[in-house]
Chains A and B, each alone.
Chain A
Amino acid sequence: MKQKIIYDIIVVGGGHAGVEAANIAAKKNCSVLMITMDKKAFGRMSCNPAIGGLAKGQMVREIDMLGGLMGGLADRSGLQFKILNKSKGRAVWSPRAQVDKRQYETLVTSAVLNNKNIDVLLGEAVELLVDNYAVSGISLRDGSSVFGKAVVLTCGTFLSGLIHVGERKIFAGRMGEEGSVGITESLGALGFKTGRLKTGTPPRLDKSSIDWNKTNVALGDDFPVPFSYQTRDFNPPNDPCHTLRTNKETHDIIKENIGRSPMFSGDIAGVGPRYCPSIEDKVHRFSHHESHTLFLEPEWKNSDQIYLNGFSTSLPEDVQLNALRKIPGLGLVEFLRPGYAIEYDFFPPAQLRATLETKDISGLFLAGQVNGTSGYEEAAAQGLIAGINAALTVSDLENLVLSRSSAYIGVMIDDLITKDTLEPYRMFTSRAEYRLMLRYSNTDERLIDVAEKHSLLSRATISQARHRLKQKQTILGNLNVSIDPASLPNNIKINHPIPAKTVLKRPECSIFDFPDAFLSHSGKLPMWSSNELLLDIEAEIKYEGYIKRHLNDLEKQKKNESLKISNKLDYGLLVGLSNEAVEKLSFVRPETLGQAMRVSGVTPADISVLHVNLSK
């Protein structure tokens, strides 16, 4: 008889979450088995050909600093790079890259297949094997079983996936790929609550059917900034994207046919994202806008397939085509694939701990769209955290939980496990109450200790990062020195020498106004890195007062965050708790008083009742 192999970690799914989970666990010397239904679809970008963007770009940086793949691979497959929100204040600056999907997938695939710690198995997971509330393995469609000490489920939109194109319905995981049935039922039988969500994707246009002369060109930054601190020799292309605008005729056609969109006819039970709305949604809900911008994005280098960003839809194909042909430039447009909506199962993430392990089945981790999120970056970040914690659990080490003040990833996971998921969760900077501290430009500073403690980066990388941060301290020290009025540009007037820091707090002063002596440092940093370092120092000094207020808040919150609540607490027995709080807290079962405070529907009065009871 063949000897039974027990892997450290089984990862179900090879999307953005699965790949990060497998990769980091392998990096931490775990034996990993990845189960996938398609060996050619690792890290597939099934929607937009871009990585990063508003709030998401910050997360890609964090993924990079925690040993993830996404940032570095995007740097190597990017077609143009741009920092968004440049005019809106530096804490909301967000890096974004237009990415060659094929190149990205190729890089991910080789990272997975060439990893000696990762075995890949082609198959469909249909049942979870559980022994006394602990996960022990997975049963596959073909009847075989595989065994592992921990399982990370990253099934994306494949669970009972249902595609809608107008009135047409197709069971599938992604267009052209089969869905998966069984895992939902398996988790349901274990007592997990499930829900339905939907997400949409726009049509792909045939490049040769577009009149490019009628479009506007949109380029990336002249001085591009990479996602990864480890990227060297960064010389990416700056391939153009193009924009067009919808018009009244387009909107009229959509309005006339809105009844044929399953979203409006009620065919789709799932709730769609409010902030990434379909074009029928935009036309219907923002009827006062006469026009919306559409972005024509190449899906890969010299791609004949153009992604029509801003036109996500589940309208019938003929309606999509007719509406688009009213736009100058798209008069003769042809589809390579129509837009569609997909409906899928998810597991309300309040059933998870902050480590992404389920509260009821030990060793079982959930990450990505199964947790009700939307977006590659959100998925990758969860996969990474689940992978790290799965590896730490297997080795019996202390888990990793990122705080809301240290990372967007921390904000996201805390939101997921405490708030109601009524629509796919997308990251926004406004979700982060400590936004001023969570800059993309100080990611290394925020996460280096965690990365070092859990060995997420190589020693060499850590020491490079430490070296960079040392430069920051040097310059901050220099800026305490008084500056001579004569050495400043004319528009900055000071009467006598005062510390450079004080001058920098003035709105009219930029760090680049100071003489080189203040800014010089010994580090050999790439241009972009050194530039970014200076800008971050400037931000830190200009925001000093506000950051202090954040830190004071944090100090006050600290007690609550460390006050543990038992998983077994019977909220129904607590005198003085509102009925809503009893219901919500019983479902969420927060791990700390801090988490309890953020559960929706729980009031400050409820918290003081809880606090009194915990202190007894």
Chain B
Amino acid sequence: MMFDTIVAPATPPGYGGISIVRISGSLSTKLTKQICKRKTSFSHRRPTLSSVYNVVGNIIDDAVFTFFKSPHSYTGEDVLEISCHGNPIIVDQIVSTVCSFGARLADPGEFTKRAFLNGKLDLVQAESVSKLIESRSVEAANINSKILSGSLSKKLNTIRESVVSVLAELEFEFDISENESSIPNLMTKSSNAINNSILACDNLIASYADGRLFNHGARVVIYGNPNVGKSTLLNALLEKDRAITSEVPGTTRDTVDADIVLGGIPVTLIDTAGIRSASSDVESAGIKRSYDEMKNADLLINVVTNEDEVGETIQSKNTVIVFNKVDLVSPPEKLTDIIPVSALLGDGVASLKNIIKEKLISKNTPGSDIVLTTRRQQIAITDCKNSLIESLKYLNEDAPELEIVAFELRESINHIDALMGKTTVDDILNKVFSGFCVGK
């Protein structure tokens, strides 16, 4: 590719053991002479210790240089990584020196974008890079590294290939065969193949619920009457004192957020103001927020301390009922589906965590461990599936308009191609890569 050379710190800003500056482009080799005062460039993939010099020839730092020769690098271009001492001043000096020799500061995600444009990654893989970096649990990281290694792309290619072969058979009939009698056979075969592809799409679409859960996490809202121990429960789940608790009803005026990871799912717990007729404007504003949070929740935890309150539980949502303060009051035996907890003593908190996890993971997840992780993927596969369903509808007519079947099959292929970046226009690329941090 005829790209200019870009540079950026690849590690987060701040002080640390090591910081890494990454350079990609043809200057990666030429720069060596100037910033290392070396006559020869570094060997491919062999870390080498050298001093880094600034424009006037003074030493900035001693650093380890690792050179990756095109096309065997992340971006597919010549890449040089400089591991220097972890000081932002040193990093800044190196970056500005490199820039003064003709490189340019990279845009967010530009290294990965080049990897995509140079054919090192397809678009689905490229997306998974930022997801991998953002992963907040081992499970999420596993999902994303699988996609990065190409497992989702492989799956998409399988669907694509299957549709392409159905289309090829049809086009053979239109353009070459001159034989009218082979049609009924072909239709059964095509119809089976399309049905299988629809199923494959369905499985992927269903997997998005989990992919979304592990990547974006879930919002779990704790609500209930005042003074039932919601904030105490929050603290118990977090195993630290996050929210202020007291015996005075209405202590929590505003919603309080806190993040934990439950069974690999990043969960945001939200403690809300107790719901009652408010005694002040501040409290009523807090109660309004409680309702807003409940509307957007993936799961509600309704905290109760006596039998009567159970009846007021919102049934339509995915709700867990927690009977708190079992250290003071025994829960009524006739009530099922409630979790007895003593938030104060920590009794029952572990089993509550398990129940939250179980409730969050979708029931209809297929056996496959390949899951969709972005809305873009989900939309594309849904569009693909809809085109396949249309094609099948036409195929099943008495006297099918076969070229309409072909039209829809082409559309479904187009959706997959766009998803993988084979036919993607620039604005979509920019959208995909804009979510990246600089240096990736």
A residues sitting closer than 8 Å to B (CB atoms) are 53-55, 84-92, 275, 293, 428-430, 435-436, 507-508, 542-543, 546, 574-579, 582, 603-605, 608
- Inter-chain contact A293/B179, CB cutoff 8 Å: yes
Given contact pairs A91-B403, A507-B397, A574 touches B175 in the complex (Cβ within 8 A): no
Contact of B175 among A275, A578, A608 (CB under 8 A): A275
- Inter-chain contact A577/B401, CB cutoff 8 Å: no
Chain A residue nearest to B407 (CB atoms) is: A546
Q: How far is the CA of A579 from the CA of B70 in the complex (A)?
A: 14
Which chain B residues border A430 with CB–CB below 8 Å?
171, 174-175, 406
**Residue among A91, A430, A507 having the largest count of chain B Cβ atoms under 10 Å:** A430
- Inter-chain contact A577/B2, CB cutoff 8 Å: yes
Can you name 12 extra interface pairs (CB under 8 A) apart from A90-B401, A546-B407, A575-B4?
Answer: A54-B175, A54-B178, A85-B174, A85-B180, A89-B405, A429-B175, A576-B3, A578-B117, A579-B1, A604-B425, A604-B426, A608-B425
- Give the shortest distance, in Å, between B408 (CB) and chain A (any CB): 9
Q: How far is the CA of A436 from the CA of B403 in the complex (A)?
A: 8
- Inter-chain contact B174/A429, CB cutoff 8 Å: yes
- Inter-chain contact A88/B174, CB cutoff 8 Å: yes
- Inter-chain contact B178/A84, CB cutoff 8 Å: yes
- Give the shortest distance, in Å, between B304 (CB) and chain A (any CB): 55
Q: How far is the CA of A508 from the CA of B397 in the complex (A)?
A: 9
Q: How far is the CA of A39 from the CA of B102 in the complex (A)?
A: 69
- Inter-chain contact A92/B403, CB cutoff 8 Å: yes
Contact with A along B390-410 (1 / 0, CB 8 A): 000000011111111111000
Q: How far is the CA of A90 from the CA of B406 in the complex (A)?
A: 13
Cβ of B423 within 8 Å of any chain A Cβ, yes or no, is: yes
- Inter-chain contact B404/A543, CB cutoff 8 Å: yes
Which chain A residues border B3 with CB–CB below 8 Å?
575-576
- Inter-chain contact A89/B175, CB cutoff 8 Å: no
- Inter-chain contact A88/B402, CB cutoff 8 Å: yes
Which chain A residues border B401 with CB–CB below 8 Å?
89-90, 542-543
Chain A residue nearest to B175 (CB atoms) is: A428
Cβ of B183 within 8 Å of any chain A Cβ, yes or no, is: yes
Contact of B173 among A88, A91, A436, A543 (CB under 8 A): A88
Which chain A residues border B178 with CB–CB below 8 Å?
53-54, 84
Cβ of B248 within 8 Å of any chain A Cβ, yes or no, is: no
Q: How far is the CA of A54 from the CA of B173 in the complex (A)?
A: 10
Contact of B176 among A54, A86, A604 (CB under 8 A): A54
Q: How far is the CA of A85 from the CA of B404 in the complex (A)?
A: 14
- Give the shortest distance, in Å, between A165 (CB) and chain B (any CB): 26
Contact with A along B154-188 (1 / 0, CB 8 A): 00000000000000000101111011100100000
Show 9 A/B contacts (Cβ-Cβ < 8 Å), sorted by A.
A54-B174, A88-B180, A89-B404, A92-B403, A275-B175, A507-B399, A543-B401, A578-B1, A605-B117
Q: How far is the CA of A53 from the CA of B173 in the complex (A)?
A: 13
Q: How far is the CA of A406 from the CA of B402 in the complex (A)?
A: 22
Chain A residue nearest to B116 (CB atoms) is: A605
Q: How far is the CA of A85 from the CA of B403 in the complex (A)?
A: 11
- Inter-chain contact A576/B403, CB cutoff 8 Å: no
Cβ of B429 within 8 Å of any chain A Cβ, yes or no, is: yes
Contact of A435 among B2, B403, B425, B429 (CB under 8 A): B403
Cβ of B142 within 8 Å of any chain A Cβ, yes or no, is: no
Which chain A residues border B180 with CB–CB below 8 Å?
85-88
- Inter-chain contact B176/A275, CB cutoff 8 Å: yes
Q: How far is the CA of A85 from the CA of B405 in the complex (A)?
A: 15
Which chain B residues border A546 with CB–CB below 8 Å?
404, 407
Top 10 A-B residue pairs of the complex, sorted by shortest distance between their CB atoms: A89-B403, A608-B426, A428-B175, A89-B402, A430-B171, A92-B174, A89-B401, A507-B397, A91-B403, A88-B402
- Inter-chain contact B171/A428, CB cutoff 8 Å: yes
- Inter-chain contact B400/A55, CB cutoff 8 Å: no
For chains A and B in complex, what number of residue pairs have CB atoms within 8 angstroms? 88
Q: How far is the CA of A87 from the CA of B178 in the complex (A)?
A: 11
Chain A residue nearest to B171 (CB atoms) is: A430
Chain B residue nearest to A572 (CB atoms) is: B2
Given contact pairs A88-B174, A92-B174, A429-B174, A582 touches B407 in the complex (Cβ within 8 A): no
Which chain A residues border B118 with CB–CB below 8 Å?
578
Given contact pairs A87-B180, A89-B404, A576 touches B399 in the complex (Cβ within 8 A): no
Which chain B residues border A435 with CB–CB below 8 Å?
403
Which chain A residues border B2 with CB–CB below 8 Å?
574-579, 582
Q: How far is the CA of A87 from the CA of B183 in the complex (A)?
A: 8
Which chain B residues border A90 with CB–CB below 8 Å?
401, 403
Chain B residue nearest to A546 (CB atoms) is: B407
Which chain B residues border A604 with CB–CB below 8 Å?
423-426
Which chain A residues border B423 with CB–CB below 8 Å?
604
Which chain A residues border B174 with CB–CB below 8 Å?
54, 85, 88-89, 92, 428-430
**Residue among B178, B398, B402 having the largest count of chain A Cβ atoms under 10 Å:** B178
Contact with A along B405-440 (1 / 0, CB 8 A): 111000000000000000111100100000000000
Which chain B residues border A275 with CB–CB below 8 Å?
175-176
- Give the shortest distance, in Å, between A123 (CB) and chain B (any CB): 40
Q: How far is the CA of A429 from the CA of B2 in the complex (A)?
A: 37
Q: How far is the CA of A94 from the CA of B429 in the complex (A)?
A: 41
Which chain A residues border B1 with CB–CB below 8 Å?
576-579
Q: How far is the CA of A522 from the CA of B233 in the complex (A)?
A: 85
Contact with A along B199-214 (1 / 0, CB 8 A): 0000000000000000
Which chain A residues border B173 with CB–CB below 8 Å?
85, 88
**Residue among A90, A574, A603 having the largest count of chain B Cβ atoms under 10 Å:** A603
Chain A residue nearest to B118 (CB atoms) is: A578
- Give the shortest distance, in Å, between B389 (CB) and chain A (any CB): 15
**Residue among A86, A582, A605 having the largest count of chain B Cβ atoms under 10 Å:** A605
- Give the shortest distance, in Å, between A57 (CB) and chain B (any CB): 12
**Residue among A54, A293, A508 having the largest count of chain B Cβ atoms under 10 Å:** A54
Q: How far is the CA of A430 from the CA of B170 in the complex (A)?
A: 10
Q: How far is the CA of A293 from the CA of B403 in the complex (A)?
A: 25
Which chain A residues border B398 with CB–CB below 8 Å?
507-508
Q: How far is the CA of A255 from the CA of B62 in the complex (A)?
A: 70
- Give the shortest distance, in Å, between B400 (CB) and chain A (any CB): 7
Chain B residue nearest to A571 (CB atoms) is: B2
Chain B residue nearest to A430 (CB atoms) is: B171
Q: How far is the CA of A49 from the CA of B180 in the complex (A)?
A: 21
- Give the shortest distance, in Å, between A358 (CB) and chain B (any CB): 29
- Give the shortest distance, in Å, between A534 (CB) and chain B (any CB): 17
Chain A residue nearest to B424 (CB atoms) is: A604
- Give the shortest distance, in Å, between A89 (CB) and chain B (any CB): 4
Which chain A residues border B400 with CB–CB below 8 Å?
89
- Give the shortest distance, in Å, between B175 (CB) and chain A (any CB): 4
Q: How far is the CA of A84 from the CA of B425 in the complex (A)?
A: 39
Q: How far is the CA of A86 from the CA of B400 in the complex (A)?
A: 11
Q: How far is the CA of A609 from the CA of B366 in the complex (A)?
A: 42
Which chain B residues border A293 with CB–CB below 8 Å?
179
Which chain B residues border A91 with CB–CB below 8 Å?
403
Given contact pairs A546-B407, A577-B2, A605-B117, A88 touches B175 in the complex (Cβ within 8 A): no
Which chain A residues border B402 with CB–CB below 8 Å?
88-89, 92
- Give the shortest distance, in Å, between B411 (CB) and chain A (any CB): 9
- Give the shortest distance, in Å, between B150 (CB) and chain A (any CB): 19
Chain A residue nearest to B403 (CB atoms) is: A89
Which chain B residues border A88 with CB–CB below 8 Å?
173-174, 180, 183, 402-403
Which chain B residues border A603 with CB–CB below 8 Å?
117
Q: How far is the CA of A555 from the CA of B299 in the complex (A)?
A: 47
